Amino acid sequence: MKDRQRPFYKIFNGHRIPGAFSEGALEGFLRYHPADDDIFIMTFPKCGTRWTHMMLSKTLQVCRHLSPRPFILAEREGVAAILAAPRPRVVCAHLPFRLTPRNERTKYVYVVRNPKDCCVSFFHHTRSHASYGFADGTFKEFFEIFLDGLTDFGNYYENLKSWYARKDDPNVLFMTYESMKFDTRGSVIKLARFVDERLAIALEEDNDKMMSVLEACSVESMRKGLQGHLIRKGVVGDWKNYFSHEQSRRIEGRFMLEMKGTDIPDLWRDVDWKLPVPNGASVL
């Protein structure tokens, strides 16, 4: 890549953030003490943040008759926006576990997406926002940045591993984007039950409420509500339209190396995200 300063990022306390973001907003959020009834949605970028937020917001709306929860990306908007939001507050962020403000009574929902689809979606996001200065950037350029863990919000591999290690904590719900796509209804119930058993019961007993949530979090509805902003395809497998065989081989190798000693690769055992491996050979 000709210019390693593209896309435009900032480094704050060793953490990479978009160049248009304020260091003060992140600094304030890192010192925030979550309320007991806060619900955090934690993701690496482009792994279903807004989709999960919509699922939860609409569930609270139809089951508790609450107003829609505002979308708050904590690293961008800071503590003031969080404190101004109605409770229970839904807070979205892209931090690894070690940097996330914690409270053992706060609920944390973590969603991850397979690295190839994440990379493609993140590429389009970065190219479409003028503040990155990457409008003419190529997928080949962005692939190298993603592969090396040098995108904004840090390192995909570290982010995933840090939250996977906490997946059995009683106040953490760990989900994959792909499982949410394949069984959206079941995922809505799972999310609702994690937040409050009564929410899940309300959805299971009233199909109109469930259908209202499912309609609100469909790609078509979300794209219309956001005028297409930030919502592109919302599919599994779009990586096949971008990755060369060599790029696939390299990212699979890097992923398996980073996840060595864990069962994280099993998260996508039933998802077509890897190259065929002849005769059981390793991709490494």
Using an 8 Å Cβ cutoff, are 192 and 59 in contact? yes
Tokens of 80: 């003031």
Q: Other CB atoms closer than 10 Å to residue 206's CB: what's the count?
A: 13
Three-state DSSP at 83 gives helix
Active site residue 94: yes
**Residue 64: CA atoms inside 13 Å, Cβ hemisphere, count?**
18
Alpha helix (H) residue ranges in 168-260: 177-182, 184-195, 197-205, 207-216, 219-225, 245-258
Which of 94, 124, 125, 245 is an active site residue?
94
DSSP state of 89: P
Three-state DSSP at 12 gives strand
Positions marked catalytic = 94
